[in-house]
Amino acid sequence: MRPWSEITQEIEALQGVALDAGLVSEMARQQSMRSTLAPIQFHTPSFKTYETSEIRGCGKSAWPAISITGGDCKLACDHCKAKILEPMIPARTPQDLWRVVNAQITAGARGMLLSGGSNHRNEVEYGPFYATLRRIKDTFPAFKIALHTALVDCDGARRMQDAGIDAAMMDVIGAQDTITQVYHLKRSVDDFERALEYLVSTEMKVVPHIVLGLHYGRLLGEWHALEIVRRHRPSALVLVVAMPFYAPAQRPFVTPDAHAVGGFFLDARAALPDLPLLLGCARPPGRVKAQIDAYAVMAGLNGIAHPADGMVELATRLERTVRVTPSCCSIALGDEVMALDATSQLDVDEVIAHPRATTIGGIAVAVR
């Protein structure tokens, strides 16, 4: 195959997007050592507007995000300020949750992401909701529940399992300074590792997240977090990139360096060669997103949510089998781990050789 740096410059959407030639070359070298390139899955959740020249028209959301605290969170971390919760559907009582889920299922939902704001110990107080969650699973056994756990103890992890949670997600933080300064939290790195250990000891699918650039836009504890994940072998790992939209003026974030992020992708792929590795939808927009996504494709990540323009063509030109799935990347454990069937495959030769517009899996796909 020709040098990957040449291939990227033949893709219209990537022309003018600066990529580190040495990093691209190393990605190509490492991928050449694998017997086959893993398929890549592009996830197109519809909880926010999304369209590129290659993929568009995601349709009605099948994976609503619901918060048991509405927009409230005691921590108000510097990277978020609870703003992530605001677009979620509020369900502040078990009765509200039952009502909301029934309405969403009637509207076509196949699963949900359940979250909520934390208390001062980075715990989401799900206790009163477990009986309702069990009722939901017993009544609608095909309905998938992915839960943002925050920090849990052993008993909490078991209660989540007993409630019927399909997939548990938590952020793994590897730097004490980040926990103290960004999260304003009196907990330790060991607390995060223990929570992951408790979760993976259950029968739930466990999909931790690592937020790259969480320390005010700088990579600090990410490699330690990666080592924690490697030690405990969850079902998959989701990587996201800090978006400094909500940072307070007195504690500003810089946009994480895309090349440093790409280097971490390479390290993560090497550290976890057989684990599904996914790029979540949280990352900065614009040209830096194109850089990040291109590195994700070339580093061999298994899935990308809301891919930047040109990623379908890049993946096909690198001879990776491409699939498109209308699901949330947080339930992106979804298709990679749970093997849901709402997946369609693109033909590599057709994509490269013939401009076309088609519909696959209910999603309009246009490849130039």
DSSP bridge pairs for 239: 210, 279
Distance from C-alpha of 123 to C-alpha of 198, rounded to nearest angstrom: 14
Lowest mean pLDDT, pick from 38-47, 190-199, 273-282: 38-47
Domain ranges of the chain: 4-367
Taking only the tens place, the pLDDT of each residue in 226-260 is: 999 999 999 999 999 998 777 777 888 999 999 99
User: β-strand 363-367 against 356-360: which pairing, if any?
Assistant: antiparallel
The pLDDT of residue 230 is 98
Q: Which CATH class is domain 4-367?
A: alpha beta
CA distance 164 to 169: 14
Beta-bridged to residue 240, according to DSSP, are 211
Residue 29: pLDDT over 70: yes
**pLDDT by residue (tens digit) across 305-347?**
889 999 999 999 999 999 887 654 445 444 444 333 344 444 4
List, for residues 252-276, the tens digit of each pLDDT value: 899 999 999 999 999 999 999 999 9
Question: What pLDDT, on a 0 to 100 scale, did the predictor assign at position 188?
Answer: 98
Q: Does residue 37 surpass a pLDDT of 90?
A: no
Please give the pLDDT value at position 54. 63
Task: Provide the pLDDT confidence category of residue 367 given band limits of 50, 70 and 90.
Answer: very low
String of DSSP letters for 122-186:
SB---GGGHHHHHHHHHH-TT-EEEEE-BS--HHHHHHHHHTT-SEEE-B----HHHHHHTS---
